[in-house]
A and B are shown apart, each in its own frame.
Chain A
Amino acid sequence: MLTRSRTRGLLRQAGTIAVTLLGLLVLTFAIGRLMPADPVRAIVGEEATQDTYMQVYQELGLDRPLPMQFLMYLRDVLTGDFGTSIRTGQPVLNDILTVMPATLELATLAILIGATLGITLGVIAAVKKDRWQDQVIRVFSLMGHSMPIFWTGMIALLIFYAALGWVGGGGRMEDYFIGLVPEVTNFILIDAALAGEWEVFWSALNHLILPASLLGYSSSAYITRMTRSFMLDQINQEYITTARVKGLSVRQTIWRHAFLNIRVQLVTIVALAYGALLEGAVLIETVFSWPGFGQYLTSNLMIGDMNAVMTCVLLVGVIFIALNLLSDVLYRVFDPRTR
């Protein structure tokens, strides 16, 4: 059922997204122009003649005014051309598509851990408000929010890998497994399961579990706090009394009634936490030698690979916008009042 006001709302939302996307492009373009690395020198090399240099300079359109350059950039992006990485010589988009699954695998497991932990603790904290459980959970989750994740990663590697040997070290799996599984989705767990290589699967999980737990723990702080506050809003509602009058226990009331009412809000929170988690992924990938998006971004930052950096930043922005949109849509699906 599309009413007129509904259509107008959708149009306005589409307009907002378009403007934001355009803004993202302006921003990434500005960052690209600000970068100190000389893109021409990077292509032609140090020994090129002045003529060659000028020729490439013009080919790249660097002699034109900035607005023109921006329009060219816009045209390229709209046609799916994000330029070539100086470091790898590959189209940036190909590079990113290759490394992205590693990060998504890490981030997805991390958000599963973080959401489970955060929601459970948040509910307990709300039910036990101001009691010792609430205080312990508060400090525990603030710890997760306060730790410099790159450092915790190193310490965790020292303890759980070097000293105890419980988990695998850096990388996605043991070196001798690399290349054993055909790359279908580039999600190692899925690929290994598809190929029936369970040894590879366990090795990959063994390498994944530590960074994912740390990322999950750090993202759980936000989820815990929001769950607690949403839950507190619900606990004082009259329908909770109704459920108790019917003879439901506290636990049943919380999970069958109150929790259903915060589900919608939680989806929004978890989606936003997933986006924020990409940030932690950049740091933790460096520590765990994880061949993902974060490592790709940081290594290109160091050498000033302009196209790669611009595209990475743009991509993160797009992911953020997409997650916001997704949480909006899910909100409508879950809440009968918005139908």
Chain B
Amino acid sequence: MQTETLKKGRSMTLPGLAPLGRILRFLMRQPTSAFGLAVIALLVIGAIFAPLLATHNPYAQDLTNTLAPPGNGHWFGTDELGRDIWSRLVHGTRITLTIIALVTVVVGPIGLAVGTIAGYYGGAVDTVMMRITDIFLSFPSLILSLAFVAALGPSLSNAIIAIALTSWPPIARLARAETLTFRAEDYVSAARLQGASDFRIIMKSIVPMCLPSVLIRLTLNMATVILTAAGLGFLGLGAQPPLPEWGAMIATGRRYMIDSWWLVTFPGIAILCVSLAFNLVGDGLRDALDPKQMNRR
């Protein structure tokens, strides 16, 4: 009992990512989240070795062999321009990962900045910033991204910007809540008494404390990012042809769906698997963060 609280106390004051290793071990022990981790690992491997795994050039057209069913040298068949669907799927992992990575890299700092500043200063700064956050939160993210992409013009990079613009508010909320709990801690007061600037206190004392929970929240968000990106691609507002983005592949395959089922089926399964994987990992993380669960198993 006593050692338990001691351990907890120590990991609480350790700024940074010490508990992440423990969480990873927890995730591996459960079949569902272990499966999720495995799929994500495959996704990363697929993206790194895409040129080796692909059997064809994803852009090479072969108009003599269009809409060929799976088999016969093309594992997943060919599309309306005779391109190999397997190779396009494999190269598509790079686009998916790029979207996830860029959105996360943009959203994390924005959310952290807004949340920590609002939480640290409090008062009017807090009120104004949280009001703005609430306004963004009062839209469903896909519809707001749709509007942003429409305003910026359809392209992959604009889709990423639009998704990022709509997914920072929950991170900001979280960072603010965390900041409020740390703001009154002794080491923050100590830093202030030593004459550290506000910027320095936020960067050195508060941001590192918020980081673990923000990182986890970002992971939880990834499945939604994938689905939103695929949705934008499907509506023609995301990645543009001939990029092998999965949502866009489904959109073009739709015309040939009745006779050539493989055009839409495989990209769809790919989206489903990856977003399910992130959801399973996210669900496991939620359990891992529940202290009661952690101790019991």
Interface of A toward B, CB cutoff 8 Å: 19-20, 23-24, 27-28, 31-32, 34-36, 135, 138-139, 142-143, 145-148, 150-152, 154-155, 158, 162, 275-276, 278-279, 282-283, 286, 297-298, 301-302, 304, 309, 312-313, 316-317, 320-321, 324
Contact = CB atoms under 8 A, between A and B. Distances in A.
B223 A146 contact: yes
A297 B283 contact: no
A298 B247 contact: no
A320 B166 CA distance: 15
Contacts of A275: 140
B29 to A, nearest CB: 13
A31 B148 contact: yes
A296 B178 CA distance: 41
Interface in B136-157: 136, 138-144, 146-153
Contact of B279 (A20, A142, A320): A142
A19 B131 contact: yes
A60 B141 CA distance: 30
A316 B140 contact: yes
B86 interface: no
Contacts of A28: 147
A309 B147 contact: yes
A151 to B, nearest CB: 4
B235 A316 contact: no
Interface of B: 32, 131-132, 134-136, 138-144, 146-153, 223, 227, 230-231, 234-237, 247, 250, 254, 257-258, 261, 264-265, 267-268, 271-272, 275-276, 278-280, 283
The 6 closest A-B pairs by CB, nearest first: A23-B135, A151-B268, A34-B151, A146-B276, A279-B140, A146-B275
B236 A279 contact: no
Given A151-B272, A155-B265, A313-B139, A282 B146 contact: yes
A32 B153 CA distance: 12
A34 B132 contact: no
A297 B146 contact: yes
B272 A35 contact: no
A27 B264 contact: no
Given A146-B279, A283-B231, A313 B147 contact: yes
